[in-house]
Copies of this chain bind each other. A is one copy, B any other.
Amino acid sequence: MTSAAPPRAAAPQSAAPRTATLASALNSALRDAMRDDPSVHVLGEDVGTLGGVFRITDGLAAEFGADRCLDTPLAEAGILGTAVGMAMYGLRPVVEMQFDAFAYPAFEQLVSHVARMRNRTAGRMPLPITIRIPYGGGIGGVEHHSDSSEAYYAHTPGLHVVTPATVADGYGLLRSAIASDDPVVFLEPKRLYWSKDDWSAEAPTPIEPIGRAVVRRQGSSATLLTYGPSLPVCLEAAEAARAEGWDLSVVDLRSLAPFDDETVAAAVRATGRAVVVHESAGFAGVGAEIAARVTERCFHHLAAPVLRVTGFDIPYPPPMLEEHHLPGVDRILDAVSKLQWEQ
C-alpha cells in the first residue's frame, strides 16, 4: 500500500488553469486516487448510481464499477464497520457519511475501533480509512443537516481531523487523507462545495501534506485563526477591518489534529493579538483548544486574551434563523475591537 502516491501526470491537453468548484476538486481527488491505487474503495449511502447527494462521487461507479464505489444499506455503523473489515484485508476504504449528524450512529465504531486499532495491535493492524463528512451550516438545511461535529473527532486520539477551505486543498488534502496509513476524518464544509477557484483537474495541485496550517493573509494588527467554512468569512472580515485601521492576519488551520503549533504560534506572536473563529458551538469546542494552546505558548506576546467567535451553545437553529447563529463579519470585528487596543 503506497503511503503517499504522487499526483497523476498532467493530462495531454491545455495547461491553462480553469475554474473549478470544491465539489469537483474533491471528485477529482477520489477519481485520481482510485485510478492510482486499486485498493481504494468508496462506500456509503447513495454514492454509486446517484453519485452522492452532493455529487462528490459522481461518475465513480460508472468508471470503476459498483464494487469499487458501493451503494450500501442505510446504516452508518454498518458502513464504517464494514470499512474496518475491508481495511483489515488490505483495502483503503473511503467512506461517505451523508451529513454531519448522520455520522453519529457510527460514533462507537469510530471511537472504539477506527481510532484505536493501530494502537491496540501495537502497529500491526493500521486502518487507512478516510471518513468524508459534509459538515457545517449556512445552506438552509433543516434540523440535523448543519452540525459542526469537529470537536468530537479532534478530541479522539488516533484520528486525524482535516478540513479544506479552498478548491486546491480539497484536492490536495483529500489525496493525502486517502494515502495516509492513519484514519482521517475528512470534514467537507458543505457550504463551500459550490465555491469556485482557479483550478484544473487536468493539472491538479500537488498533494498537500496533512498537519500544516497556512497563512492566507499576512497582517500586523491581529491574527484570525480559523478553518473550513469560516475561512471566507474571516478573509472578508479582514478586508472590512482595513476600514477600521486594522491589518489582520488570517490563518487557515486545515488540519485540527495534528495541530500546526509552529505556524499558529508564529502568526500570533507576530501580531500579539488573536481571535479564533469557528461555526461549531463554542463550549469545549476546538476553539477552546486553540485559545488555550496559543496562550500557553505565546503568553508574554499577548496584549489581550485570545478571544473566540463561535456558534452559540445551542442546537443548530432552523434555516431562517441560522444567520444569527453563524459567526459573521460584524461579530468578528466586534471581537477584534475588544482586543484591548487602548493599552
Q: Point out residues on A near B: beta carbons under 8 Å.
A: 77, 101, 104-105, 107-108, 111-112, 115-116, 119-120, 143-144, 151-152, 154-158, 256-257, 259, 281, 283-289, 291-293, 295-296, 299, 302, 304-308, 312-315
Contacts and interface: CB of A to CB of B under 8 A. Distances in A.
Complex A-B, nearest 4 residue pairs according to Cβ-Cβ distance, in ascending order: A104-B108, A291-B292, A107-B107, A299-B305
A107 B112 CA distance: 13
Given A144-B112, A315-B157, A296 B292 contact: no
A339 B106 CA distance: 41
A292 B288 contact: yes
Contact of A286 (B107, B156, B284): B284
Contacts of A116: 143, 315
Contacts of A283: 154-155, 157, 257, 259, 289
Contacts of A296: 291, 305-308
Contacts of A305: 295-296, 299
Contacts of A119: 314-315
Given A152-B155, A157-B314, A315-B157, A289 B295 contact: no
Nearest to A109: B104
B313 A304 contact: no
A284 B281 contact: no
Given A157-B312, A292-B295, 5 more contacts: A120-B315, A285-B289, A292-B306, A296-B308, A299-B302
Contact of A115 (B111, B295, B302, B315): B315
Contacts of A285: 155, 284, 289
Contacts of A315: 115-116, 119-120, 157-158
A184 to B, nearest CB: 16
A291 B281 contact: no
A191 B314 CA distance: 33
Contacts of A120: 143, 315
Nearest to A298: B305
Contact of A107 (B108, B157, B257, B291): B108
Nearest to A116: B315
A105 B104 contact: no
Nearest to A161: B284
A140 to B, nearest CB: 18
A92 to B, nearest CB: 22
A291 B291 CA distance: 8
A312 B158 CA distance: 12
A157 B288 contact: no
A291 B284 contact: no
A75 to B, nearest CB: 12
Contact of A104 (B111, B158, B314): B111
Contact of A292 (B101, B105, B308, B313): B308
A152 B108 CA distance: 12
Contacts of A302: 299
A23 B306 CA distance: 41
A155 B151 contact: yes
Nearest to A111: B104
A284 B143 contact: no
A172 to B, nearest CB: 24
